[in-house]
Amino acid sequence: MASTYSDRLKLELQGSGENAGSWGDKTNNNLDVLDAFSAGYLSKSVAGSANVTLSTANASDTAEASNKVIELTGALTGNIVVFVPAVESNYVFFNNTTGSFTLTVAPTGHTANGAAITQGSHTMIYNKSDRCVDVLGAKVGTTATTYIGNGANLTGLPSIIPSGSLMLFQQTSAPTGWTKATTHNNKALRVVTGSASSGGSNTFSAAFNSAQTVSGTTGSTAVSITGSTAGHSITQAELPSVDLIPAEKSKTEDKGTLNRGSSSGGGASYEFINIPLGGSNSAHSHGVGTLAGGAHTHTFSDTFNLDVQYVDLIICSKD
């Protein structure tokens, strides 16, 4: 009975009585095939715009489709499809191509039932013989699949983030699968507990810069000042010069005719009397009363620095 081959891994199924003396070699070859299907690695260039079919062969550990991990390289010049055998199997694909074109993996004969792999991403493809499914980013049974991504490309989240959801990203361009919103520009963020809205009239840069000026006028206020002068002791030199006459003379004499410059004048004679002006030499003060000023205002103007540091963010809407 002649040998046959398994449908999926193409292992040689040796017939009874066949391959006398070569069972060991064929068994070892089957083990090599199993080794390739479970851990083999292939790097294949798919440059250009033509579809590519991975080779397959019975009992071959060197066939392209016999590898578990397949890295696709080269510069694409058009959208292409990479065909794998139309039998149940699973692969890890790495789309390491360049060029802004789509790379899809599909079973041979089922072009429309492929799984697109985001450029620069790894994913696991399950081949159901009539369609390929991206098990990391798609619902099993769909004909078109999208990969979640490698951390930079968030393209496989339609079942997690609803279409139209808005998110912030600290980058210039929107990630794949998102659209950059341009409604808001040069604005600050405000946290609210009610309905989300927007407002204000000054842009972020205008409100926060290095040359802000503040100016105005104070309110009109009346001013009252109260207090007293400082205490001062009068010295002898500060006393005035005083001429004193006897009381009886002051009553009988005509003061207007007195000669104040000598002891005898043109009228009756009189005598000077020296009276000491004594005292305690104590300090005293004089009250100034209340000084009331009319109501008045003051104007002011100054500049200050509000050149706050910031990080630019963009708002993106989930496609």
Report the distance separating Cα 12 and Cα 17, nearest Å. Answer: 14
Shared domain for 193 and 318, answered yes or no, is yes
Whether 186 is covered by a domain: the verdict is: yes
Residue 315 clears pLDDT 80, i.e. is over it: yes
Whether 235 is covered by a domain: the verdict is: no
Classify strands 103-107 and 115-117 as parallel, antiparallel or unpaired. Answer: antiparallel
Shared domain for 10 and 108, answered yes or no, is yes
Shared domain for 111 and 178, answered yes or no, is no
Final residue of a structural domain among 92, 109, 134? 134
Residue at 249: amino acid letter: K
Final residue of a structural domain among 134, 156, 180? 134
Residue at 6: amino acid letter: S
Shared domain for 15 and 103, answered yes or no, is yes
Quickly state the pLDDT bin for 275 (edges 50, 70, 90): low
- Return the closest-CA partner of residue 158 out of 146, 150, 140: 146
Sign of CA dihedral 149, 155, 160, 166: positive
Q: What is the pLDDT of residue 153?
A: 47
Q: How far is CA 71 from CA 47, 109, 200, 268, in A?
A: 12, 22, 52, 144
Whether 10 is covered by a domain: the verdict is: yes
Quickly state the pLDDT bin for 221 (edges 50, 70, 90): confident
Report the distance separating Cα 115 and Cα 132, nearest Å. Answer: 6
Report the distance separating Cα 300 and Cα 133, nearest Å. Answer: 72
Shared domain for 318 and 171, answered yes or no, is yes
Whether 250 is covered by a domain: the verdict is: no
Shared domain for 118 and 188, answered yes or no, is no
**Percentage of the chain exceeding pLDDT 90:** 24
Shared domain for 128 and 84, answered yes or no, is yes
Whether 284 is covered by a domain: the verdict is: no
Whether 100 is covered by a domain: the verdict is: yes
pTM flag (> 0.85): no
Shared domain for 118 and 172, answered yes or no, is no
Average pLDDT over residues 1-28: 76
Q: How far is CA 309 from CA 43, 214, 280, 315, in A?
A: 47, 21, 73, 20
Whether 222 is covered by a domain: the verdict is: no
Final residue of a structural domain among 86, 112, 134? 134
Please tell me which residue, 140 or 231, carries the higher pLDDT value.
Answer: 231
Shared domain for 113 and 200, answered yes or no, is no
pLDDT in tens, 56-97: 888 788 889 889 999 999 999 999 999 999 998 899 999 999
Q: What is the pLDDT of residue 109?
A: 93
- Return the closest-CA partner of residue 175 out of 118, 137, 135: 118
Q: What is the pLDDT of residue 71?
A: 95
Residue 103 clears pLDDT 90, i.e. is over it: yes
Which tokens in the block code for residue 12? 């040689």
Report the distance separating Cα 298 and Cα 216, nearest Å. Answer: 9
Range of the structural domain that residue 28 is part of: 4-134
Shared domain for 100 and 207, answered yes or no, is no
Shared domain for 27 and 82, answered yes or no, is yes
Report the distance separating Cα 71 and Cα 238, nearest Å. Answer: 113
Q: How far is CA 76 from CA 24, 70, 147, in A?
A: 44, 17, 19
Per the structure, how many domains does the chain have?
A: 2
Quickly state the pLDDT bin for 50 (edges 50, 70, 90): very high
Whether 144 is covered by a domain: the verdict is: no
